[in-house]
Structure 1
Amino acid sequence: MEALFALLVGALFTVSIYLFLSKHIIRILMGAAILGNAVNLLIFTAGRVTREVPPIIPPEFDVPQSVVANPLPQALILTAIVISFSFFAFLLVLGYRAYQDLETDDSDEMRVAEPVDDVPPPLGY
């Protein structure tokens, strides 16, 4: 099972790098989202996929008496999901705003494009 996940992680990293090399902003953003999922799956796979008993130590012992599940990868993945979602939402808004101002989603054209002045300012100004 871990070999299958390792191949899937490699495929997700490959797809995300391919999308990062694109000129269009939406493809770059999708590459960032896929890269976040690839990293989460990598952490999950590194923390072992086997089913084990919960990481609960009885009160009379100082250490677990048998093999237990490692809760650290699960906590890291949960934190990474929240951070990657907020990062993706920020990048999505940033890309949309750049598209509104420059009227292009091509990153090469964004470097030389002048901002369009007829776009109304956002509310609150």
Structure 2
Amino acid sequence: MEFVVASSVGALTAAGVYLILRLRAFAVILGLALLSYAVNVFLFSTGRLMVDAAPVLQPYGGEVVYSDPLPQALVLTAIVISFGMMAVLVMFALGAFLETGSDRIDMIDEDDDTTGPEDRA
């Protein structure tokens, strides 16, 4: 089970970094979402990966098997915050797209020439 979770965290992180390095606003937003999912899965896995375990301590005698509730609460909070931030970023990207007609993120205008100051003299 740990291998599956570790592989999914690695795959989500790799896909998120790849999408963040793209030059399109929508791809960058999707990359940030994938990175936040990877962090959420990682935080969730820190609370012990157990099957059929209670999320809180049980008052029975003997060996107590439970999963830690703190990472679960942190992940729930992180999901709510990341959903709100993704909504804000989508609105920023939509506004930029409606204003410029493109969702590219590069810093050089297409109308400008690419010659440097040493070429102009």
TM-score by length of 1: 0.77
Write the distance in 1 (CA, Å) between the matches of 2:14 and 2:109: 30
Structure 2 residue aligned with 1:88: 86
Superposed displacement of residue 2, structure 1? 1.1
Write the distance in 1 (CA, Å) between the matches of 2:57 and 2:109: 59
What do you get for the CA RMSD once the two structures are aligned? 2.2
Write the distance in 2 (CA, Å) between the matches of 1:67 and 1:88: 36
* Distance of aligned partners of 1:78 and 1:112 in 2 relative to their CA distance in 1, 3 Å threshold: same
Structure 1 residue aligned with 2:97: 99
1:53 aligns with 2:51: no
Aligned-partner residue type, residue 85 of structure 1: F
1:67 aligns with 2:65: yes
Give the match's secondary structure for 1:112: coil
What are structure 2's unaligned runs of at least 5 residues?
111-121
Give the match's secondary structure for 2:106: helix
Give the match's secondary structure for 2:18: helix
Write the distance in 2 (CA, Å) between the matches of 1:83 and 1:21: 23
TM-score by length of 2: 0.80
Query: What is the number of residues matched between the two proteins?
Result: 108
Write the distance in 2 (CA, Å) between the matches of 1:57 and 1:31: 40
Q: Calculate percent identity across the aligned residue pairs.
A: 38
* Distance of aligned partners of 1:68 and 1:27 in 2 relative to their CA distance in 1, 3 Å threshold: same
Write the distance in 2 (CA, Å) between the matches of 1:44 and 1:57: 21
Superposed displacement of residue 49, structure 1? 1.5
> Cα deviations across residues 56-77 of structure 1 (Å, max 9, x unaligned)?
464xxxxx97232210011011
Structure 2 residue aligned with 1:31: 31
